[in-house]
Amino acid sequence: MTDCIFCRIAAGEIPAKVVEENDDLVAFHDLSPQAPVHVLIIPKQHLAGANDIGEGEAPLIGRIWARIPRIAEALGVRDTGYRVVTNCGAPAGQSVFHLHFHLLAGRAMGWPPG
């Protein structure tokens, strides 16, 4: 989608601080970090959010999730704790309507989340 900022990052049209990229995903540092480590993991395929995940997307989502511990390892937080969050819908805090997983680490995390 040409008007989707994360599609444009995935296409290399908008610069980002990329941590990892493969055929399925791009992982890049969040522009407005909410923790010392705050990386976004997005599928290259446009899905508006978690509600767009169906059985057909299960292999893709599985491959993305299988990379997350490796991305955490590359960021040096694999064994010191991290949180993965997906906001689904504006009331839950979603502001970019392209599926993404926030990987947050480097500080104590409260629960329940706000």
Q: Are 72 and 102 in contact (CB under 8 A)?
A: no
Q: 30 by DSSP, 3-state: which?
A: coil
Distance in Å, CB of 80 to ligand AMP, minimum: 21
Could you give the string, one character per residue 25-54, with x where binding to ligand AMP holds by CB under 6 A and - elsewhere? -----xxx-------x--------------
Does 12 bind ligand AMP (CB under 6 A)? Our answer is no
Q: Are strands 101-105 and 18-21 parallel, antiparallel or unpaired?
A: unpaired
Q: Is 98 a catalytic residue?
A: no
Interface mask toward ligand AMP for 64-93; x: CB under 6 A: -----------------------x-----x
Pick 5 or 74: Cβ nearer ligand AMP: 5
Minimum distance, C-beta of residue 96 to ligand AMP, in the bound complex (Å): 4
- The residues with which 39 forms a beta bridge, in sequence order, are 29, 103
Q: What's the CA gap between 114 and 97, in Å, rounded? A: 20
Residue 98 CB neighbour total at 10 angstroms: 23
Helix and strand numbers (H, E) in the chain are 2, 5
Q: Which of 29, 38, 46, 100 is catalytic?
A: 100
* Closest CB to ligand AMP among residues 30, 57: 30
